[in-house]
């Protein structure tokens, strides 16, 4: 168990937090208002090694751990949870190529993914299959040395702006065993995109449907063997769940910090807000809950790095707990600001909007409970 960061880990966290404070936080509200996707800033983050955090170094990755990634994504999210979350998704999709791709595939895509010259999206969810991901319908029919794709993916982060799509498709029969993974280039004929969805939050990254109509993708773009695509998708989600929990904690920490500053300045009934014991107790509880979630996140990340047998369960636990706590703390921070918290210029309402979706994506928190309960019941038999 690790309860303190060593010198190198502290340096990694501080590097990411300094980057967030300088390059992200001052612009986050404007990006949200304009629905701007800050590719240039993300590529600047990649220059510091954040484009391929846990990608092997022979293709330009940083070869860091999942623990390091948790520190980085929490730190980046103090500037903007939306931007941090997209960098997480890019890293997840790139990791799938690094872990399951051939050396030829790795050399083809990863050097430019690690610099974020190319940006990647993860395509699993469909209009009729979200939580029931194994029921996906996007079909890939073999035709010589190509697959012909037909179907649609829904709620795809970065879609239309990204260059590489790691797509789960049905190459075989029903269920998880009939799913394979293809890497699809943006310029593939027959690939198109829906309109940019209007969302409650996460406005600094586009979300579109990805549609395939007789799109021909080389068999050489398949990751691993046919039929292991669902396994690849789920393995990617273990790390993605840690990352999105980290993004929730970073956003919530920023909201708490804003509250503490506001309470020093705002007066009511002749006293500063931070002199009221009731409010002191509230911020104490907020900080305690964040620290508990952070400690749990570190435990789950360390378990995933070790490839512990219960790592997937711990990742699900950490995702559920971290995203619930993150949203609750951010919402409480808005309440502490009173009416000002509801105004965009204070930045708290944006954090609340951004963090709400974290309880849904990378597997809803109801599905996280299902994963945990199944593991517990299997262990009791």
Helix and strand numbers, DSSP H then E, in the chain: 11, 9
Handedness of CA 100, 169, 362, 135 (dihedral sign): negative
- 117 in active site: no
Q: Which residues contact 70 (CB under 8 A, 6 or more apart)?
A: 242, 243, 245, 246, 297, 298, 301
CB atoms within 10 A of CB 11: 11
**Per-residue tokens: 37:** 């996707």
Q: Which of the residues 328, 362, 366, 378 is marked catalytic?
A: 362
CA distance 23 to 17: 10
**Per-residue tokens: 256:** 């708490």
CB atoms within 10 A of CB 48: 15
**In this structure, are residues 154 and 169 in contact, taking their beta carbons and an 8 Å threshold?**
no
Q: What does the angle CA 285 – CA 257 – CA 266 come to, to the nearest 5 degrees?
A: 95
Positions marked catalytic: 362
């Amino acid at each position: 168990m690790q309860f303190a960061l060593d010198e190198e880990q502290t340096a990694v966290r501080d590097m990411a937090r300094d980057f967030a404070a300088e390059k992200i936080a001052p612009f986050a509200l404007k990006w949200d208002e304009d629905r701007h996707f800050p590719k240039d800033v993300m590529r600047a983050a990649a220059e510091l090694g954040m484009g391929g955090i846990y990608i092997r170094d022979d293709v330009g990755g940083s070869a860091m751990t999942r623990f390091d990634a948790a520190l980085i994504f929490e730190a980046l999210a103090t500037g903007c949870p939306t931007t941090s979350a997209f960098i997480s998704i890019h890293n997840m999709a790139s990791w799938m190529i690094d872990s399951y791709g051939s050396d030829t595939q790795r050399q083809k895509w990863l050097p430019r993914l690690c610099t974020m010259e190319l940006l990647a999206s993860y395509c699993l969810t469909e209009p009729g299959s979200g939580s029931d991901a194994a029921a996906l319908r996007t079909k890939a029919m073999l035709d010589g040395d190509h697959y012909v794709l037909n179907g649609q993916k829904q709620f795809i982060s970065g879609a239309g702006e990204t260059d590489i799509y790691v797509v789960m498709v049905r190459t075989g029969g029903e269920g998880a065993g009939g799913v394979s993974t293809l890497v699809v280039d943006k310029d593939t004929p027959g690939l198109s995109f829906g309109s940019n969805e209007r969302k409650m939050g996460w406005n600094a990254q586009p979300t579109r449907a990805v549609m395939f109509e007789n799109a021909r993708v080389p068999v050489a773009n398949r990751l691993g063997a046919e039929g292991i695509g669902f396994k690849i998708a789920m393995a990617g989600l273990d790390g993605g769940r840690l990352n999105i929990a980290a993004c929730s904690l970073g956003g919530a920490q920023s909201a708490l910090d804003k509250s503490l500053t506001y309470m020093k300045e705002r007066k009511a009934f002749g006293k500063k807000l931070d002199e009221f014991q009731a409010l002191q107790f509230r911020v104490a509880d907020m900080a305690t809950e964040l620290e508990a979630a952070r400690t749990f996140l570190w435990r789950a990340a360390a378990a995933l790095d070790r490839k512990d047998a219960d790592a997937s369960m711990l990742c699900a636990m950490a995702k559920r707990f971290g995203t619930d706590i993150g949203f609750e703390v951010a919402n409480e921070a808005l309440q502490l600001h009173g009416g000002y918290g509801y105004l965009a210029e204070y930045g708290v309402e944006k954090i609340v909007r951004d963090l709400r979706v974290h309880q849904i994506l990378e597997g809803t928190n109801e599905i996280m409970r299902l994963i945990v309960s199944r593991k517990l019941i299997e262990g009791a038999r």
